[in-house]
Structure 1
Amino acid sequence: MADTSALEEELKLELSPYDADLLADLLTDLLADCGLAGGAPRLVSQESTYFDTPDHALARAGLSLRVRRSGRRHKQTIKADGSAAGMLVRSEWEREIAGNQPVLDDDNPVTALLGHRTALLAPVFVVENERRVWNRDGIEIALDQGRIVAGERLAPLCEVELERKGAALDALFALAREIEARVPARICVLSKAERGYRLLAAAAPAPKAGRIRLTPQMSVADSLALIVGHCLGHFHRNLPALLDHGDAHALHQARVAIRRLRSALSLYRPVVRDPRKVARFQRDLQWLAGKLGAMREIDVLLANDDDPEALAPLCAARRKAAGEAAAALRSKRCRLLMLDLAEWIAIGRWRRAAPEAAPGELSLGAFAAAVLTRRRKILRKRGRHLAGLGDEARHDVRKAAKKLRYAADFFAALYPQEREGRRARRFVARVERLQERLGTLNDRVTAPAVRARLGLAPRRGPTADAEKAEQAEQAEQARLLRAAAKDYDEFATARPFWR
């Protein structure tokens, strides 16, 4: 039997083991309360073995290959990564097979990718799962409780999948809200395959943003949906390490994801006709950024403070800030924010208001050029006479540099020619250098206020002479400011890559 290709659309919610048990007991009644009446769920025991090459070629290409055993039946499934702001939208190829080893012909992407290297495929991890399945009015509801086993490493698996089987998308989100109202459940963009690969790599680096694959043929609306989905995926993929360990690198990437998301909403504001909703998103994202920012401020002090007497109180303050950030990330406010963003991007009123019908009916390329030109103009204006600006005005320059850099990152794929690509990389590098230099300067300027807020004495530095320490700090800030002014001049004279 050949592989059959299909498009899978699902909304996935993550639960704690306790809440998964609670949901298992009440989900049938919950569905009936929602008008989705039916019988008891179908119980299925599953064991899914995931295959890859020794160098994980499939994972690096965004593919997963599994053989799932349910009773005596074996089903082979190949999936391609894909997400849109919390909705998982993935191509998949399925077929029934006779045993527990993959059967690969020429009609699937694994064979096309690996060629003769399919002989290297071997099991890499296993997902053991007890699944309860309800089918109601075009929605398949699957509650999964089990574990992922990768060698000697184990991780629990507790999630509910709402897969579209003919229902409208708003029905999936309505059901997700009903579930969240009864048990704490947050949107999850990690597939079981991604979780397994993460378990294999115990010290995997914090995921970075990566490149957004916009194309000139996209509508303005679809480009925003892709960008927001990309930002939310970046955020969610850093949550496990941030929640479980308070990892500083995951914290940094989660903050970058939020900043990029806020920038995207700001950059697209002229064509998105839903100001109240966008304003609410910005408020909640700013609140969340503030909770994470408190941790980051302490991390900066820990990285730069050479006062041994400050180490213990800084570590204590860091633990407190990490606890408050974790509480915010697990809060109902955050869960609903992420669910609302996912629904707004997928089926929000703004999409029906046709952003492309804005004045001039801009193509995506024209819209991107207009945004980049405007943000460049703002940065050039704010950054003039940089060396003479005060702290607050300099901070405004830094924020302008961030927005321009993120806009350039978002739209760079629209300029694929080799020469354009080189110019884009040079341009972004100059803006990034200016932004980071101003960030370092801002950290040094604000450090005394952060220390005071934490109840710490002023930093002594390597010398006990307070006057000499202050002079050394002022000299370092002056050096950074001169370097930032030079960075600005290099940016200001750089040729825009979008012209």
Structure 2
Amino acid sequence: MNLPSGTQEIELKLLFDPAELSIFRKSRDILSFSEGRARQVRLRAVYFDTPDLVLSRNGMALRVRREKGQWVQTLKGQIGGAGLVARRLEINLPVSGPVPDLSLVADKAVRKKILELCKGQELTEICQTDVRRVIRDLVVDDCRIEMVIDTGSIRSGSGGETFSGGEPVSASVSEVELELKAGPVQKVLKLVRQWNEHYSFRIGVYSKAERGFNLYRFGVETGTAEVRAGDVRFKKRVSGWDVAALAMSSAVEQLQRNAELLPVLGEDRIEILHQYRIAIRRLRTVLGLLDQSFPKKSGRKKLAKRLKALQRVSGVGRDWDVLIAEGLLPLLEKHAGDAEKSAALRALLQKAEAARHAAYRTILEGLQSRDFTALLLDVTALVLRQGDKKGEHAVSELWKTLLNDRRSDILYQVPGDILVMDIEALHELRLKVKTMRYSSEFFASFGEEEKTALFIRRCKKLQGRLGSLNDTLVADQLLGALREPGNDSLNRAIDLTLKYYQKAEARQMKKLGETWQKFCEAKPFWKK
């Protein structure tokens, strides 16, 4: 929802363990930049919404908070942003008590929109926050920053869609928020980058309200559903650099939100890791697709290498997810009536789950590292950079050539019969088709809807067919590492699983020729 103009915040949130925050707040890294004395205040807030959370679902938050002896009603709405730096609209109004009064909202358009969304439903209390806040003014060269240190708690009762405990649930608050008051935002990111070398913290993407609402709905502060790619649309007259920055901003938020979910639900909901990897792929697609639009000395190539390494590490966990979900579990169901095979497959499944757990542990260690925090900061810093002459060309001058080059690259790799290609060559082809698909989706809004949808469907079909063939190669590698000399039962279960994959590969190969032909026949949607 687009809200009318108002006060815009540009802020960055850092999440600390309480012990680390205690060290950080007393450090010279803070005191040396501080201007004036620190102020302290206790903030108690109550967040309201309809029982079905209609305001939250439309990107809005409504709270009443006690500030300096006065109750203040605040309406917030997301109006855009860049990477992990939020840009929000905020409307503050004094009220007589701890309940909201929408009649006091002066902007008629905002008030009307809220009433339309609520459809007569009464607003109800969703969650409460109780925070002790320390406020410091920082001066870094020509940059003025308000830093707030918040410690406390978030509490909510049950009553949501999937949480059914009946008892109140809570989460702790231990965070630092930096709000830019004046000067270039790059200075804020540089300062945080320096802090990251000495202190352990994570970049936060969930507001206190979001955390409280998730507690209300699910009983956990991160929510329970994977975060999929947002719908990024732009017009042809927009510059190549503006398009790149917009797409990276969307992708890095998807990356971080799924990264927050992985430690909570990772192995129980394998789609989270999948969407985390899609976010990385989206970032890599932009870095490669619009390389000629990036500013000079942008660090694009180094960033692309770091993202590739991140994807490689997460790929091991994804491979085990696919093997278990699409190989071992279906086989167990198929042989449920055979006690000997079932026992052997369960033993194999146990080993596979242990290997997957080790892979996830490696992924999570990476997410908690300073390197990952630095990566997020560097992507955001790049998004917020000003473009130069390289990126001034309208994307309408670039997109057709970019897509045509990728399609030509695919056709060049298969000069003859696709069925004579070995499995390694087909794997390389799959990666190129995947890039073609992501690139096509990136520019989908430029083409005729029907023609564009057909081309992307053909890309997805070919990518899926090639992916199924690649699964056989991956299964052979993963299961080969689990073999044990002398453990005949386990090794027979491995052979049974590989035979299952080989049969699936044979079925896919029979259909590959036809799928490839249909891909070749799909008319490029960027051509008339």
Settle same-fold status: TM greater than 0.5: yes
Q: Which segments of 5 or more consecutive residues in structure 2 lack a partner in the other structure?
A: 158-167, 332-344
1:315 matches 2:363: no
Judge conservation of contact 2:403–2:440 (CA < 8 Å) in 1.
yes
Supply the AA of the counterpart residue of 2:292. P
Judge conservation of contact 1:211–1:409 (CA < 8 Å) in 2.
no
Judge conservation of contact 2:469–2:508 (CA < 8 Å) in 1.
yes
Judge conservation of contact 2:34–2:136 (CA < 8 Å) in 1.
no
1:426 matches 2:446: no
- Partner of residue 372 from structure 2, selected from 323, 334, 338: 334
Judge conservation of contact 1:128–1:148 (CA < 8 Å) in 2.
yes
Aligned to 1:236: 256
The DSSP-based 3-state class of the residue aligned with 1:54 is: coil
Aligned to 2:174: 158
Aligned to 2:13: 12
Supply the AA of the counterpart residue of 1:9. I
The DSSP-based 3-state class of the residue aligned with 1:95 is: strand
- Partner of residue 50 from structure 1, selected from 39, 47, 51: 47
Question: Could you tell me how far 1:432 is from its partner in structure 2?
Answer: 1.6
Residues 332-411 of structure 1 mapped to structure 2, 5 A cutoff:
332-347=370-385, 351-357=386-392, 362-383=393-414, 385-411=417-443
1:412 matches 2:434: no
Alignment partners' CA distance in 2, 1:411 and 1:470: 39
The DSSP-based 3-state class of the residue aligned with 1:201 is: helix
Judge conservation of contact 1:463–1:469 (CA < 8 Å) in 2.
no
The DSSP-based 3-state class of the residue aligned with 2:304 is: helix
Supply the AA of the counterpart residue of 1:284. R
The DSSP-based 3-state class of the residue aligned with 2:398 is: helix
Aligned to 2:225: 205
Supply the AA of the counterpart residue of 1:397. L
Judge conservation of contact 2:455–2:522 (CA < 8 Å) in 1.
yes
Q: Which segments of 5 or more consecutive residues in structure 1 lack a partner in the other structure?
A: none
Supply the AA of the counterpart residue of 2:93. R
Compared CA separation, residues 308 and 37, structure 1 to 2 (3 A): closer
1:215 matches 2:235: yes
Compared CA separation, residues 412 and 144, structure 1 to 2 (3 A): farther
Alignment partners' CA distance in 2, 1:332 and 1:458: 44
Alignment partners' CA distance in 2, 1:439 and 1:371: 24
Q: Deviations over 1:87-111 (max 9, x none)?
A: 1122222223232222323615353
Question: Could you tell me how far 1:493 is from its partner in structure 2?
Answer: 1.8
Judge conservation of contact 2:224–2:261 (CA < 8 Å) in 1.
no
Aligned to 2:337: none
1:443 matches 2:471: yes
1:491 matches 2:487: no
Alignment partners' CA distance in 2, 1:302 and 1:374: 37
Compared CA separation, residues 492 and 68, structure 1 to 2 (3 A): farther
Question: Could you tell me how far 1:231 is from its partner in structure 2?
Answer: 0.7
Alignment partners' CA distance in 1, 2:302 and 2:187: 23
Alignment partners' CA distance in 2, 1:5 and 1:355: 33
1:124 matches 2:123: no
Question: Could you tell me how far 1:84 is from its partner in structure 2?
Answer: 1.2
Compared CA separation, residues 158 and 370, structure 1 to 2 (3 A): farther
Alignment partners' CA distance in 2, 1:459 and 1:440: 29
Compared CA separation, residues 287 and 469, structure 1 to 2 (3 A): closer
Question: Could you tell me how far 1:114 is from its partner in structure 2?
Answer: 3.4
Question: Could you tell me how far 1:274 is from its partner in structure 2?
Answer: 4.2
Aligned to 2:66: 69
Q: Deviations over 1:180-225 (max 9, x none)?
A: 2331123222222332333233263211113113233432111111
| TM value normalised by structure 2 | 0.84
Q: Deviations over 1:303-323 (max 9, x none)?
A: 212422212222222222221
Alignment partners' CA distance in 2, 1:77 and 1:317: 49
Question: Could you tell me how far 1:134 is from its partner in structure 2?
Answer: 0.9
Alignment partners' CA distance in 2, 1:309 and 1:79: 53
Question: Could you tell me how far 1:118 is from its partner in structure 2?
Answer: 5.9
Question: Could you tell me how far 1:163 is from its partner in structure 2?
Answer: 0.8
